[in-house]
Amino acid sequence: MRAPLSAPCEAPPHPRAGTLGSGYLGITLAGSPVWRIFLVGGEPLIWPPILDIIEAIKNNGVEVALCTNGIRLNQPDITAWIIRLGVDAVSVSLDSTDPAANDHYRPSRHDAHGWCDVVSGIRCLLAGRASGRPPRVGVYTVITRRNLSQIHEMGVFAVELGCDYYVPQPVSLAADHPLHAELSLTAADHAAVASALDRLYSAGLPLALPDRSYTRRFLASITADTGRVPGCFGGRELFFIEPDGSVWDCPSSLKIAATSPGQRRNIRGRTAAGLFATGPRCTDCSLFSHDCVNMWPP
């Protein structure tokens, strides 16, 4: 099971000191089928309790994958804790080998940080971990009409940095988003995206890429708003949890909209074993959406 837990976070980092407690926050993962949690955000590394939560999850024998903008990886105390707590994977968002292009579409608040900080953050983490030890470090790149060449180039760059995995992901923007027309991939981009994905997968780069079936989902998401996924893992091996505790089968906005009030669930007052040990479910999904592609197993 892969259950991304997202949380909005705006506060400065929590200063770490003293002994780490166990059982913090009453996490109920032990004895549940949950084996990996993706901590997504917002930006998890500026959320004060994040290190305590990671510790509590790890103490329950569950893997942690942290998805971050990479800026806080420049803080030696944060990076040291990530390594010491045994975080299993750190995925860093970076959209281009061109600093200006990345920072144009991914501006930081007050323009205080950008591409250089993300790259140095990745380097700090890679330099800090012991050889062959966790975390695995990867790059996630959002692909738009404006950066198709980056599908391959960012893979090469991730290798140069020394990363372990790389995931190009299609941009997902609502139809009324101001950048939708400028950035969203369309059927007109299909051939170019297919060719760029082929180039990436044929390059034999020494790093992990998502299973090749991911490229079919990537391409499907840009030619149709929805589709059917027989035997989808959403709601069986993966759940999507929002900051208010809502538990969904997957992040598909179509599936979420189609979930009746009676089917809605929340983590509040529940145990992980009770919530996720629900037995066989119908997972033939006809509500595939571009929101789903980012969750495809790498």
Ligand X SMILES: C[S@@+](CC[C@H](N)C(=O)[O-])C[C@H]1O[C@@H](n2cnc3c(N)ncnc32)[C@H](O)[C@@H]1O
152, 191 Cβ separation under 8 angstroms: no
- Tell whether residue 169 is a contact of ligand X (CB under 6 A): yes
Q: Nearest approach, Cβ of 41 to ligand X (angstroms)?
A: 4
**Interface map 257-296 toward ligand X (x if CB under 6 A):** -------------------------------------x--
Closest contact distance (angstroms) between CB of 30 and ligand X is: 27
28 C-beta neighbours (distance < 10 Å), count = 17
Structure token digits, residue 85: 């707590």
Binding segment for ligand X (CB under 6 A), chosen from 165-173, 216-224, 243-251, 267-275, is: 165-173
Q: Which stretch binds ligand X (CB under 6 A): 65-73, 124-132, 239-247, 263-271?
A: 65-73
Question: Do β-strands 246-248 and 240-241 pair in parallel, antiparallel, or remain unpaired?
Answer: antiparallel
> Alpha-carbon distance 166 to 66, whole Å?
14
At closest approach, how far in Å is the CB of 108 from ligand X? 10
Cβ(57)–Cβ(65) below 8 Å: no
171 lies in the binding site for ligand X (CB under 6 A): yes
137 contributes a contact to ligand X by CB under 6 A: no
Distance of CA 1 to the CA centre of its chain: 14
| CA–CA gap between residue 138 and residue 75 (Å, rounded) | 18
Q: CB-wise, 68 or 215, nearer to ligand X?
A: 68
Is residue 68 near ligand X by the rule CB under 6 A?
A: yes
Nearer residue to ligand X within complex by CB, 121 or 134 = 121
Beginning with the edge strand found earlier in the chain, give each strand of the sheet holding 136-143 in spatial order: 36-39, 63-68, 89-93, 136-143, 165-170
Site for ligand X in 89-128 (CB under 6 A): 93
C-alpha torsion angle, residues 108, 55, 119, 69 (rounded to 10): -30
Question: Going edge to edge, which strands form the sheet with 240-241?
Answer: 240-241, 246-248, 265-266
Smallest distance, ligand X to C-beta of residue 179, A = 9
Q: Which stretch binds ligand X (CB under 6 A): 146-154, 155-163, 171-179, 204-212?
A: 171-179
Nearer to ligand X, 89 or 173 (CB): 173
Note the residues at the interface with ligand X (CB under 6 A): 40-43, 67-69, 93, 140, 142, 169, 171-173, 294
